[in-house]
């Protein structure tokens, strides 16, 4: 008598933890396989990948297109040039950031908030010496942080002075906005906020908070950490629902112009808001992740299919496309 | 969207081509679906005895070849002091022994293994040479003509003529007795058939019965009708060849010819054996059958290499399925396959312990290397040297403690291990120990699954014997590559979304 009951609970536990595929497809959740086969390989021509995989190239491209990007301080591309680092750093007075051109997932990004007599102050308050920085650059050059371990280039750029409206929402790191742009239409957006759990990194699987944003007005829809909904920021206790991204129209316009610039049909754009300069393009991603769906609490597929069903004939301008999505994809709550 | 039809046509072409090839090999070459099937082989030993009297002796024994129903495997001789060669003559193949001087009773042995093989590929049958008509002396010519006429009257074809001729020899006893005085009945029958324009010859056959000794050959009449032939029993006129009847000499030549000795005779003994089919096949294809595209034609060592190579697609397919259907993260896409190949060499437990030992200790030493601030290539090289050192160390330690199993640690691919250590170590620094456990555990899980699949006797058997399987694996891989459904782990990952919907 006991056996069937036990079996039942086992089965129930399974149902508790795993979703039925039909349930997911009803919501329109985009899976990894479908993303790769039906979107990335269909809309992103392979030869355009290097443009977005190399942050230096993306930067040049963005400058050509007249988009705002963080100011480039210097580039170190050879091991013997590492000793010039301190000379390069003389050029900037305040904070800066060192990152690998081919880094993925925020790996190898070192943020120095202030440089003074005593050394370089990292975002977590520790003081680094010039030797530490040189070691980091040399690691970047050796390919420690890049895909497949190939040799890389170190980029040094101005620190972003992130907008005051985010203070309290982010712990240490710079909050950035990810907008998925599909064939030039912004389809979904989220904000990534670093926490103590994520060590100041904006990676969701490391414990950063993902906040789904209403594509219509840039307001928070819901927030998740470790794929679980939360209401308050785990470190600062601020109500996440009060978050609203300023200059939302500008953010969307910037994201959409990345489509024209890169030619990639299915694109993830990472945008930061600078206190002085407004929205700036941080980097592009040709293989944007799927967690944005969890942060938004909805699947990407209905919106992607909506865009796919639009007529190809009439070309919409960037502004029209933003207006179109704001009209059609706004969440009402 | 481009039409998917060409893709599905390609996949189904691959699939059905693979299936057809596989079925063809099963049906045409009798390769079983399961390993460990047995095939019956006969070991037949011919013993040639003669009395030598000090003169040079040459002994020629006709030996059988592959023929319908039997495939010749290997042959051996035992004849101390004699020179031996195999001679291809007009009357078939001969084993020819020779010696300058021999005295007394001599015994020479020839042993042949014949595989009972319904799919034997015999050498081209030699047509019966047209014998010049013998002009027989009277009264034999008339007597023979009488029998032939009578048989011709009552027959309609080559085969029926042969049968009637044998019956006439039995019916007309007196005439038959008269003829047999000159030469044996079988020679007469063959000769008369030839005279009547029917290709026929006298052959020598052996009945195979397990464990029989001192058997001798039995004479039969082989009658041709175009490409086909039938065998007739010269005593009863019975037509047909029993399954256990081996034709020993079927080229119109003598069975045994001994020059320089007397009282020569040959006797046969035989035993039946069951052999695993692959050993039998190995021997069957050992002679270059270039028409027959098979791995069995390769030398044994290369066969062993191919056995391993042909298993890789199975391991690769496991990786593909694990990633696409389940969504398991592994460190290094095909690293698990290489680890699985090492497990095959070492056995699973030894392999697992060895792998964890090397990677574990490697990670510890590597964490020190990261303080040295080295360039990447140099650091990897250092890790490789370190891995080699560890393997040597563990081998010696294992040997000292009498654990010979531990020596197998050397089968691990060292470069791959070094990269694994390097990747894991970076993963540890960047993402923490948990990710190392997840990816390392995922890799090991996939490696173990790949090992279990690749180590299955049945799968080894199929991949090695049926090339078509490779095409089928290819088709499955292609289909998996266009799968757009959810991965199993995504069902768990996106579970919160379904709950949201309900509330």
The complex scores an ipTM of 0.78
Identify each DSSP E strand in B208-302 by its residue range.
218-225, 228-232, 245-249, 256-259, 261-276
Instruction: Round to the nearest angstrom and report the end-to-end CA distance of chain B.
Output: 37
- Select the residue of B1, B377, B498 nearest A23 (Cβ to Cβ): B498
Q: What pLDDT does A176 receive? A: 85
> Chain B residues contacting A, CB < 8 Å?
1, 324, 327, 373, 375-377, 379, 426, 430-431, 482-488, 490-498, 500-501
Instruction: Tell me whether residues B491 and A142 touch, CB distance under 8 A.
Output: no
- Select the residue of B377, B431, B487 nearest A32 (Cβ to Cβ): B487
Q: Closest residue of B to A299, CA-based?
A: B497
Say what the alpha-carbon torsion angle A130, A136, A142, A147 is, to the nearest 10 degrees: -160
Contacts of B329 in chain A (CB under 8 A): none
Q: What pLDDT does B223 receive? A: 86
- Select the residue of A29, A32, A139 nearest B327 (Cβ to Cβ): A32
> Chain A residues contacting B, CB < 8 Å?
17-21, 23-27, 29, 31-34, 37-38, 42, 79, 107, 135, 138-139, 142-144, 149, 151, 206, 224, 227-229, 290, 293-294, 297-299
pLDDT interval class at A182 (50, 70, 90): very high
Q: What pLDDT does B476 receive? A: 94
Pick the more confident residue, B158 or A43. Answer: A43
Instruction: Tell me whether residues B497 and A299 touch, CB distance under 8 A.
Output: yes
- Select the residue of B327, B483, B492 nearest A18 (Cβ to Cβ): B492
Contacts of A143 in chain B (CB under 8 A): 376
pLDDT averaged over chain A? 84
Statement: the pTM of the whole predicted model exceeds 0.80: no
Tokens of A179: 């907008």
For an interface test with B, give the residue of A14, A15, A19, A154 to mutate (most B CBs within 10 A). A19
Q: Closest residue of B to A198, CA-based?
A: B431
Pick the more confident residue, A203 or B349. Answer: B349
Over pLDDT 90: what percentage of chain A? 13
Q: What pLDDT does A39 receive? A: 92
User: A142 to chain B nearest CA, in Å?
Assistant: 5
Instruction: Tell me whether residues B497 and A149 touch, CB distance under 8 A.
Output: no
User: B499 to chain A nearest CA, in Å?
Assistant: 9
Q: What pLDDT does B316 receive? A: 92
pLDDT interval class at A181 (50, 70, 90): very high
Q: Closest residue of A to B484, CA-based?
A: A34
Tens digit of pLDDT at every position of chain B (503 positions): 456 888 899 999 999 999 998 888 888 777 778 877 777 888 888 889 998 888 888 998 888 888 888 888 778 888 888 888 888 876 678 888 988 888 888 888 888 888 887 777 776 666 666 666 667 777 888 888 888 888 888 888 888 888 888 888 888 878 777 787 878 888 888 888 888 888 888 888 888 888 778 888 888 888 888 777 888 888 887 888 887 888 888 777 788 888 888 888 888 888 887 777 766 666 666 554 544 556 666 666 777 778 888 889 999 999 999 999 998 888 777 888 888 888 888 888 888 888 888 888 888 888 888 777 677 778 888 888 988 888 888 888 888 887 776 677 777 778 888 888 888 887 787 677 888 888 888 989 999 999 999 888 888 888 888 888 999 999 999 999 888 889 998 888 888 887 765 44
Q: What pLDDT does B133 receive? A: 64
- Select the residue of A24, A139, A143 nearest B486 (Cβ to Cβ): A24
Q: What pLDDT does B132 receive? A: 63
Tokens of A142: 């050796």
Instruction: Tell me whether residues B430 and A135 touch, CB distance under 8 A.
Output: no
pLDDT interval class at A144 (50, 70, 90): confident
Instruction: Tell me whether residues B426 and A144 touch, CB distance under 8 A.
Output: yes
Which residues in B196-205 are b (16+ Cβ under 10 Å) and which e?
A: bebbbbbbbb
Cα–Cα dist A285/A148, whole Å: 17
Cα–Cα dist B451/B339, whole Å: 8
CA A77 to chain centroid, in Å, comes to: 25
Contacts of A42 in chain B (CB under 8 A): 1
Query: What is the tens place of the pLDDT at every residue in B310-333?
Result: 889 999 999 999 999 998 888 777
Tokens of B125: 């049958």
Q: What pLDDT does B129 receive? A: 61
Instruction: Tell me whether residues B492 and A149 touch, CB distance under 8 A.
Output: no
DSSP at B349: H
Instruction: Tell me whether residues B426 and A224 touch, CB distance under 8 A.
Output: no
Contacts of B375 in chain A (CB under 8 A): 79, 138, 142
Q: What pLDDT does B292 receive? A: 54
Question: Which helix or strand (DSSP H or E) is residue A112 part of?
Answer: strand A110-116
Tokens of B178: 């008269």
- Select the residue of B492, B493, B500 nearest A297 (Cβ to Cβ): B500
Q: Closest residue of B to A17, CA-based?
A: B492
Q: What pLDDT does B452 receive? A: 92
User: A135 to chain B nearest CA, in Å?
Assistant: 7
Cα–Cα dist A54/A100, whole Å: 9
SS3 of residue A238 by DSSP: coil
Instruction: Tell me whether residues B373 and A227 touch, CB distance under 8 A.
Output: no
Q: What pLDDT does A94 receive? A: 76
């Amino acid at each position: 008598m006991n056996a069937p009951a036990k079996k039942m609970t086992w089965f129930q536990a399974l149902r508790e933890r795993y979703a039925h595929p039909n349930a997911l497809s009803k919501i329109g959740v985009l899976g990894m396989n479908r993303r790769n086969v039906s979107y990335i390989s269909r809309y992103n021509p392979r030869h355009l990948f290097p443009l977005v995989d190399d942050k230096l190239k993306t930067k040049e491209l963005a400058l050509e297109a007249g988009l705002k990007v963080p100011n480039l301080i210097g580039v170190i591309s050879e091991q013997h040039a590492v000793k010039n680092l301190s000379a390069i750093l003389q050029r900037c007075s305040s904070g800066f950031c060192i990152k690998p051109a081919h880094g993925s997932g925020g790996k190898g990004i070192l943020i120095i908030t202030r440089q003074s007599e005593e050394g370089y102050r990292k975002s977590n308050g520790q003081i680094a010496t010039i030797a530490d920085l040189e070691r980091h650059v040399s690691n970047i050059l050796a390919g420690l942080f890049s895909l497949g371990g190939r040799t890389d280039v170190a980029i040094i750029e101005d620190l972003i002075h992130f907008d005051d409206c985010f203070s309290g929402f982010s712990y240490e790191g710079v909050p950035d906005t990810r907008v998925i742009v599909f064939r030039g239409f912004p389809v979904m957006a989220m904000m990534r906020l670093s926490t103590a759990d994520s060590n100041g990194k904006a990676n969701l699987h490391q414990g950063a908070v993902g906040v789904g944003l209403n594509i219509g007005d840039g307001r928070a829809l819901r927030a998740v950490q470790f794929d679980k909904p939360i209401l308050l920021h785990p470190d600062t206790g601020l109500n996440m629902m009060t978050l609203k991204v300023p200059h939302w129209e500008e953010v969307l316009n910037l994201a959409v112009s990345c489509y024209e610039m890169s030619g990639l049909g299915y694109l993830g754009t990472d945008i930061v808001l600078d206190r002085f300069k407004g929205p700036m393009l941080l980097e592009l991603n040709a293989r944007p992740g799927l967690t944005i769906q969890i942060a938004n609490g909805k699947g990407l597929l209905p919106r992607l299919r909506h865009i796919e069903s639009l007529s190809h004939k009439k070309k919409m301008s960037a502004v029209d496309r933003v207006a179109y999505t704001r009209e059609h994809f706004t969440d009402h709550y | 969207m481009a039409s998917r039809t060409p893709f599905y046509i390609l996949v189904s072409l691959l699939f059905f081509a693979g299936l057809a090839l596989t079925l063809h090999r099963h049906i045409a070459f009798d390769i079983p679906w399961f390993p460990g099937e047995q095939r019956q082989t006969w070991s037949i030993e011919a013993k040639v005895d003669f009395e030598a009297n000090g003169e040079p002796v040459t002994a020629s024994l006709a030996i059988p070849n592959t023929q319908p129903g039997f495939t010749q495997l290997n042959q051996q001789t035992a004849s101390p002091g004699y020179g031996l060669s195999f001679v291809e003559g007009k009357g078939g193949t001969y084993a020819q022994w020779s010696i300058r001087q021999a005295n007394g009773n001599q015994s020479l042995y020839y042993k042949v293994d014949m595989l009972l093989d319904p799919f034997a590929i015999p050498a081209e049958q030699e047509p019966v040479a047209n014998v010049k008509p013998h002009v027989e002396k009277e009264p034999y010519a008339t007597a023979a003509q009488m029998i032939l006429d009578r048989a011709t009257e009552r027959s309609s074809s080559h085969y029926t003529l042969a049968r009637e001729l044998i019956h006439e020899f039995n019916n007309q006893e007196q005439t038959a007795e008269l003829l047999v005085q000159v030469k044996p009945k079988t020679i007469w029958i063959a000769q008369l058939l030839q005279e009547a324009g029917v290709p026929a010859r006298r052959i020598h056959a052996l009945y195979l019965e397990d464990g029989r000794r001192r058997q001798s050959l039995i004479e039969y009449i082989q009658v041709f009708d175009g490409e086909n032939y039938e065998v007739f029993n010269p005593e009863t006129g019975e037509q047909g060849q029993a399954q256990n009847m081996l034709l020993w000499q079927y080229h119109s030549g003598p069975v045994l010819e001994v020059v320089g000795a007397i009282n020569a005779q040959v006797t046969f003994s035989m035993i039946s054996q069951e052999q695993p089919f692959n050993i039998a096949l190995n021997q069957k294809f050992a002679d270059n059958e270039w028409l027959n595209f098979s791995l069995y034609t390769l030398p044994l060592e290369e066969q062993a290499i191919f056995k391993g190579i042909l298993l890789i697609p199975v391991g690769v397919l496991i990786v593909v399925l694990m990633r696409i259907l389940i969504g398991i993260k592994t460190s290094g896409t095909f690293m698990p396959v290489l680890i699985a190949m090492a497990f095959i060499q070492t056995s699973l437990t030894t392999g697992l312990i060895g792998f964890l030992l090397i990677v574990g200790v490697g990670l510890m030493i590597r964490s020190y290397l990261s303080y040295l601030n080295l360039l990447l290539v140099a650091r990897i090289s250092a890790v490789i040297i370190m891995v080699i050192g560890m393997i040597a160390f563990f081998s010696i330690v294992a040997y000292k403690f009498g654990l010979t199993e531990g020596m197998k640690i050397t089968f691990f691919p060292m470069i791959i291990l070094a990269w694994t250590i390097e990747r894991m170590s970076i993963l540890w620094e960047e993402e923490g120990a948990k990710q190392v456990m997840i990816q390392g555990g995922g890799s090991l899980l996939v490696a173990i699954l790949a090992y279990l699949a690749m180590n299955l006797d049945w799968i080894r058997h199929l991949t090695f014997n049926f090339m078509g399987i490779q095409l089928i694996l290819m088709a499955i891989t292609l289909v998996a590559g266009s799968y757009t459904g959810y991965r199993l782990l995504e069902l768990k990952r996106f579970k919160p979304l379904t709950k949201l919907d309900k509330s």
